[in-house]
């Protein structure tokens, strides 16, 4: 995974610059086993549900933990996911994710799924920003 330091931006970055592009996704009628396999194979915690036209839901590892086999993605997805345009500011997306307490924002370009920004992605960006802002000079004397 490439580290993206926010200090490289002279202006507020747009979510499109920091999202994970071309995310894996499932269809509403895909079996839960397909979702579970996708998450395990790619070590991801959020999977968008796409109906062929637009994102219609998202499934997190939390929904998968308690779900019995034999169900479909549409049975466990969180409907009405947080969807943002690719040109939305990163601050706006992060603020709204916190407000909604959601684990991922689905990013669209012209209505088509273009990427995903997860809480994990946001935490990595925050850690990089903190390290850039508070470099350790080695002097830890009180």
Q: Is the confidence at residue 2, as pLDDT, over 60?
A: no
Domain definitions of the chain by residue range:
6-133
Tell me the whole-structure pTM to 2 decimals: 0.86
Which tens digits make up the pLDDT trace of 79-128? 999 999 999 999 999 999 999 999 999 999 998 999 999 999 999 888 88
Average pLDDT, the chain: 89
- Residue 132 structure tokens: 């850039």
pLDDT the model gives residue 129: 82
What are phi and psi for residue 32, nearest 5 degrees? Answer: -55, -35
User: What is the second-level CATH architecture of the domain 6-133?
Assistant: Roll (3.10)
pLDDT the model gives residue 5: 63
Average pLDDT score over residue span 61-70: 80
């Amino acid at each position: 995974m490439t580290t993206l330091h926010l200090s490289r931006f002279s202006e507020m970055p747009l979510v499109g610059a920091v999202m994970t592009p071309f995310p894996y996704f499932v269809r509403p009628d895909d079996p839960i086993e397909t979702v579970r396999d996708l998450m395990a194979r790619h070590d991801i915690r959020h999977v968008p549900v796409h109906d062929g036209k637009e994102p219609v839901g998202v499934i997190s590892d939390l929904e998968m933990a308690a779900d019995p086999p034999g169900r479909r993605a549409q049975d466990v997805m969180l409907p009405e996911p947080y969807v943002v345009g690719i040109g939305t500011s990163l601050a706006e997306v992060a603020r709204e994710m916190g407000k909604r307490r959601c684990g991922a924002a689905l990013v669209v370009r012209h209505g088509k799924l273009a990427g995903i920004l997860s809480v994990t992605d946001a935490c990595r960006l925050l850690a990089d920003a903190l390290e850039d802002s508070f470099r350790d000079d080695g002097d830890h004397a009180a």
